[in-house]
Amino acid sequence: MDTMMRAWVQDRYGNAAATTLRRVTVPTPGKGDVLLKVSATALNAGDIRVMSGDPYLVRLAFGLRRPRNPVRGMDVAGVIVDVGPGVDTSLIGTEVIGELSGGGLAEYVITALKRVVPKDPRIEPAIAATVPVAGGTAWQALHHGKVKAGDRILVIGASGGVGTFTVQLATDAGAEVWALCGESNRSLVESLGAAQTFDYRSTDAGDLPKSEFDAVIDIAGTAKLRDLRRLVRPGGSVVLVSGEGGRVFGPIGRLIRAFLLSIRSTRPIRPLAATAKPEVTSAILERVAAGSVVPVIERTWPLDQAQAALARVESGRTVGKVVVIPD
Ligand SMILES: NC(=O)c1ccc[n+]([C@@H]2O[C@H](COP(=O)([O-])OP(=O)(O)OC[C@H]3O[C@@H](n4cnc5c(N)ncnc54)[C@H](OP(=O)(O)O)[C@@H]3O)[C@@H](O)[C@H]2O)c1
């Protein structure tokens, strides 16, 4: 068993340049934990928020001067190579997948066993790693919006990690999807199942037909709340997955406005705070194995280039997911 490993460590909040590749000690699993040899780590906008400590509100939860966990990477596929007290040693060798609290941009990572689920060996680790955060958020957004077969929904921000899962899961559930995305991504989003697509740079949410949708899933977070609400039929809802805001409080102002607009409204605006749900990861992986959901991967990067991968996600221009694989 290795005692040292490579990991991308940050000692301060900042952009991708704040991370450095170091040799550090392989961690020891505590009670209820397992040690994973990392097979693949998918990156998320959430990794960038924690890396940069932006908005400042993030720092209250993750550490005032630097993130308490210095290694980014929440979406991890790996193999159990050691277990802590209270965990069955027969699990060693099991391939698993899960949303961790960080640490995936390394050769080994510790996680509580309860955060991971077995990975179907037929699914490549890089593909499985895309599922927990982005797929789980998409799943929870559709659930939050009570989306069902026969509904017509609008997905705003359809080409990113969360968006590409949202379009596919909604289509798989029998909903008709309209989508706002960049012009260059329209054909991709249509290939994922969208019936109609619009270029967000030339079409505002407010330009689309009023009272047309059973749910609007706003992943981009830039449209006016009143415009979003007008798109929804009475009885439908707007789900806010994301929201732009200031450097200090982030989307808090938008969330308060959403709350006020929703009082006694027949078209409520529902903010989403997605959480790690291993059972949802398993449910999506079943669809991946069956071929009804095909995760979109923009590019895989070797671990020694993970800083460039973080910078790419930081750009906000990724199509589908960015995945890092230990070389
Ligand atoms: N509420 C929660 O619990 C939760 C959970 C997970 C993620 N999130 C949030 O969800 C957001 C999206 O995450 P993600 O991983 O999908 O991001 P992402 O992969 O970085 O999204 C990038 C994509 O968004 C597109 N885009 C950017 N601005 C747009 C706009 N105004 N309209 C339409 N498309 C736009 C880009 O297209 P172009 O290249 O054409 O610009 C790009 O393809 C993030 O803000 C993240 O923090 C929230």
Express each pLDDT in 81-96 by its tens digit. Answer: 999 999 999 999 999 9
The bridge status of strand 75-83 relative to strand 95-99 is antiparallel
Residue 163's domain comprises 133-271
The preferred substitution site among 159, 275, 299 for testing ligand 1, maximizing ligand atoms within 8 Å of CB, is 159
In this prediction, what percent of the chain has a pLDDT beyond 70? 100
CA dihedral (148, 149, 155, 161) in degrees, to 10, reads: 90
Alpha-carbon distance of 179 to 31, in angstroms, equals 45
**106 and 29 fall within a common domain:** yes
CA 42 to ligand 1 centroid distance, Å:
15
Supply the pLDDT for residue 292.
97
The predicted pLDDT at position 308 comes to 98
In a domain, 279, yes or no: no
Q: What is the pLDDT of residue 244?
A: 79
The pTM of this model reads 0.97
Q: How far is the CA of 88 from the centre of ligand 1 (A)?
A: 39
- Co-location of 147 and 161 in the same domain: yes
Q: How many CA atoms lie less than 13 Å away from 37 in the CB half-sphere?
A: 13
How large is the C-alpha radius of gyration of the chain? 20
Give domain status of residue 82, yes or no: yes
pLDDT tens per residue across span 179-213: 999 999 999 999 999 999 999 999 999 999 999 99
Count of alpha carbons within 13 Å of 197, Cβ hemisphere only?
Answer: 22
Mean pLDDT of the chain: 96
What is the per-residue pLDDT for 210?
A: 96
- The ligand 1 atom nearest the CA atom of 163: 16
- Pick the residue whose CA is nearest to atom 12 on ligand 1: 219
Distance CA 228, CA 216 (A): 7
pLDDT at 249 over 90: no
Q: What tens digit of pLDDT does each residue of 267-307 get? A: 999 999 999 999 999 999 999 999 999 999 999 999 999 99
**Residue 243 falls within a domain, yes or no?**
yes
172 lies in the same domain as 224: yes
User: Closest Cα partner for 101 from 56, 140, 59, 62?
Assistant: 62
Q: Which atom belonging to ligand 1 lies closest to the Cα atom of 317?
A: 39
Kindly indicate the confidence band of residue 245, based on its pLDDT and cuts at 50, 70 and 90: confident
Domain membership of residue 304 (yes or no) is yes
Give the span between the Cα atoms of 234 and 249, in whole angstroms. Answer: 31
What is the pLDDT, as a whole number, of residue 250? 87
Q: Is residue 155 part of a domain?
A: yes
Per-residue burial over 272-290, b if 16 or more Cβ lie within 10 Å, else e, is bebebbbebbebbbebbee
Residue 175 contacts by C-beta under 8 Å, 6 or more apart in sequence? Answer: 142, 147, 148, 149, 150, 151, 152, 153, 214
- Confidence class of residue 13 from pLDDT cuts 50, 70 and 90? very high
Query: What lines the ligand 1 site, CB under 6 Å?
Result: 44-46, 133-134, 137, 156-157, 159-163, 180-182, 185, 200, 219-222, 241-242, 272-274, 316-319
Q: Which of 167, 185, 184 is nearest to 176 (CA)?
A: 167
pLDDT given at position 321: 98
Taking 90 as the threshold, does the pLDDT of residue 243 lie above it? no
Q: Are residues 31 and 73 in the same domain?
A: yes
| pLDDT band of 317, cuts 50, 70, 90 | very high
Whether 98 has a pLDDT exceeding 90, the answer reads yes
Do residues 152 and 67 both lie within one domain? no
Q: What mean pLDDT comes out for the span 161-188?
A: 98
Residue 305 sits in a domain whose CATH number is: 3.90.180.10
pLDDT exceeds 90 at position 1: no
Highest mean pLDDT out of 140-154, 233-247, 259-273? 140-154
Residue with CA nearest ligand 1 atom 23: 160
Mean pLDDT to the nearest integer, 303-313: 98
Question: Residue with the nearest Cα to atom 32 of ligand 1?
Answer: 157
Clarify whether residues 266 and 141 are in a common domain.
yes
- The tally of domains found in the chain comes to 2
Q: Give me ligand 1 centre to Cα 124, in Å.
A: 24
Strand, helix or coil at 78? Answer: strand
Identify whether residues 98 and 141 lie together within a single domain. no
Is the pLDDT reported for residue 27 higher than 90? yes
Going from the Cα of 160 to the center of ligand 1, the distance in angstroms, rounded, reads 5
The more confident residue out of 6 and 250 is: 6
| Angle subtended by helix axes 136-144 and 278-290, to nearest 10 | 100
| Same domain, yes or no: 126 and 137 | no
Looking at ligand 1, which residue's alpha carbon is closest to its atom 15? 161
Mean pLDDT computed over 65-77: 97
Instruction: Provide mean pLDDT across the span 53-75.
Output: 95
Indicate if the pLDDT at residue 238 is higher than 90.
yes
What is the CA(46)–ligand 1 centre distance, in A?
A: 11
Closest C-alpha residue for ligand 1 atom 45: 242
Residue 187 CA, ligand 1 centroid: distance in Å:
18
Q: Give per-residue burial for 71-82: e unless 16+ CB within 10 Å, then b.
A: bbbbbbbbbbbb
How would residue 78 be classed by pLDDT, with cut points 50, 70 and 90? very high
What CATH number did the domain enclosing 255 receive? 3.40.50.720
Among 168, 219, 270, residue to substitute to test ligand 1 (most atoms within 8 Å of Cβ): 219
Give the number of the atom of ligand 1 that is nearest the alpha carbon of residue 46: 47
User: Are residues 15 and 97 both part of a single domain?
Assistant: yes
Which residue has its alpha carbon closest to ligand 1 atom 40? 182
- Measured in Å, residue 242 CA sits from the centre of ligand 1 at 8
Among the listed residues 191, 196, 231, 187, the one whose alpha carbon sits nearest the alpha carbon of residue 213:
231
Share of the chain above pLDDT 90, in %: 95
Q: Are 107 and 146 in a shared domain?
A: no
**d(CA 48, ligand 1 centre) in Å:** 12
Closest CA relative to residue 55, chosen from 45, 44, 69, 41? 45
